[in-house]
Amino acid sequence: MIPNKGDNNIASERIDKLIELDPMLTQYKPQLMKRYNAYLDLKNTLEHYGDGLDKFSMGFKEYGLNRIEDGIWYREWAPGAAKAFLTGEFNKWNLTSHEMTRNQNDIFEIFLPNNEDGTPAIKHNTRIKLCLILPTGERVFRVPAWIKRATQNLKKSEIYQAVYWDPPTPYVFKNKSPPKPTRLRIYEAHIGIASPELKIASYKEFTQNVLPRIKYLNYNTLQIMAVMEHPYYASFGYQVSSFFAPSSRFGTPEDLMELIDTAHGMGIYVLLDVVHSHACKNTNDGLNHFDGTDHQYFHPYPRGYHAVWKTLLFNYTSLEVLRFLLSNLRYWIEEYHFDGFRFDGVTSMLYKHHGIGGTEFTGNYEEYFSDATDLESLSYLMVANDMIHELYPNAVTIAEDVSGMPGLCIPLSKGGCGFDYRLGMGIPDMWINLIGSRREEDWPMNDICWTLTNRRNDEKTIAYCESHDQALVGDKTIAFWLMDKEMYDYMSDFSKLTPLIERGLALHKMIRLITSGLGGESYLNFIGNEFGHPEWLDFPRKGNNNSFQYARRQFNLPDDPLLRYRYLYEFDRCMNELEEKYNWLDSPQGDIHFTNQIDKVITFERGNLLWVFNFHSWKSFADYKVGTRHVGIHDIILNTDNKKFGGFGRIDESCRHFSQPGRFANRDQFIKVYIPNRTALVFKYSD
């Protein structure tokens, strides 16, 4: 257990800073103090354990298999085992010739000196296994916990095999990481689906075919999911078995390094979707019962079991578990040059109930500061953020949290938990609910604005209309919600423009634009949705006869000059290009000064721009009054009705709009605009 060494003076000073940002937290200062002191206790313990946190968190240099000049060291923590042996192709699978020595910390280790000719005792790209003898005498085989490559041969078995990976010529990075963006325009991607072909795509194919698209579309950040090795492809990468091994389905570790290096050369920042909230329950190729016990890496049952995910939950009070997880973060930065992380499943970590079992988050502060808060896992997250930002100032961390925990994305120096961003998870829920359950005529303008701006002013939010979650089987993409099966027959320019397709194209652009313009301090798009990818995502599995039909991205659709997908693709590019120029995501929250439920009109100002949206399904407005702060000329810089975006071209974009004095919409000036139905306009100011 972690001793109580928190510094009340430091905690009190920093919590006071947090309360200044949110006075509603005043009555919860004791709970905030307890939370912050738990973090200080843990950090203090790690700083005074061995040679300090810096070395502690570089465990991948000591644990697992590591080659030095005169041989290979292998170290493994297995407190529940009686004996340990290393076996593999190198010793013709002899189970007893390479017994490991146990030290006082329950670490088994063995040194394999080089061969007489100076070559390593274990050849590169050969299979190995850890053989453990349990106190009962039972012999079990395990994939080493710190293994850096694991492969699967489905013709023989679904179980992953450990591979010793030490290429004679290591990959040499050519490009430095780009500077940390002031705001993120994120392209969320899954390597395996990043091809129109019915197969698992590769790192190399992604580098060659998808990175240029990301650059063309003006995204400045790539967020890669499903990198950490996972046995079940359909888990979307969220049931990890080997935490230090990039998924071999997509290629070699060097292929992934090349992908990241190439992205950096294009000026693209790269994030890893890291899964430290839970682990896959596999035994033969995972961490479950690794040393024969159920409480080595995880809490024992039932605390260590997630009833919904059917996965295992880490014990964040164990020093060796903390070494494993903190070292894992540094490994991906040091060895692969990732620039930061999206932490998956943070809500599950923050609360002992994991946000399941009928739990609802209403925003009542009592929900955040009760005995249900899990201080152990929260302390881990705070130490992880502290370590990352201290050692890698260019890094970014993102929290996937649906609860709205106050202070989650406030710096630790101000009493927060240290994340840089949280995902705006209520926004996609709103859009799917509106599109799927309500008539367009009933869409509530005020509610849309409230959801898009319902965030803590001092905590940055990443806005998005849809991510991988909304595309999974059982749901479908926004484009498919809007246009459904007509996308199969009427997305050609030579087919008639049906009312449903017309509506879908228009609303797809408007939804993305208002989400980017109003919803947060960064923006995220899931691969393929930029062009209105049809259908949904369904990975090959027994239930669909192992089909790849819905586990791909049909990039051929926007590339076809005769299909209407290209309009949405081009709009997405122009929207991001405009954000790069006018920087609205890094501007203060949008100032909504007018909503009209009858007209279905929303106007606001952000990034020194004026935004006008007409969501009315059939009604256009001539000389519509729009309030403005600016005295002078207003020029259209983005028009969703432009023909190059699949619109009707009803607006003369060369027309300049001059402000007129007069109080309207709480402004001293106004302009008059023509705003067609289902159209959005963005104006810049000129003198």
Amino acid at 624: Y
For residues 74 and 146, give the distance between their C-alpha atoms in angstroms, rounded to a whole number.
10
Output the CA–CA distances (angstroms, integers) from residue 562 to 443, 464, 508, 565, in the order listed: 33, 28, 19, 9
C-alpha closest to that of 253 among 176, 147, 344:
147
Residue 311 parent element (H or E) = strand 311-312
400 catalytic residue (yes or no): yes
**Sequence-ordered list of residues with C-beta below 8 angstroms from that of 339, at least 6 positions apart, any chain:** 177, 178, 180, 269, 270, 271, 333, 394, 395, 396
Angle between helices 8-21 and 29-47 (to 10 degrees): 130
Burial class of residue 21, CB neighbours in 10 A (0-12, 13-18, 19+): middle
**Active-site option among 344, 386, 538, 572:** 344
For residues 88 and 92, give the distance between their C-alpha atoms in angstroms, rounded to a whole number.
6
Neighbouring CB atoms inside 10 A of 623's CB total: 9
Structure tokens at 298: 């995880």
Show the DSSP H helices in 465-559 as ranges.
Answer: 468-471, 478-483, 499-518, 556-559
Output the CA–CA distances (angstroms, integers) from residue 440 to 312, 431, 437, 505, 678, in the order listed: 43, 11, 9, 14, 11
Output the CA–CA distances (angstroms, integers) from residue 537 to 236, 413, 621, in the order listed: 10, 41, 39
**Active-site option among 254, 258, 261, 400:** 400
In the Cβ-directed half-sphere of 13, how many Cα atoms lie within 13 Å?
6
Burial class of residue 610, CB neighbours in 10 A (0-12, 13-18, 19+): buried
How are the residues of the chain apportioned to helix, strand and coil, as percentages rounded to the nearest 5? 30, 25, 45
Active site residues: 344, 400
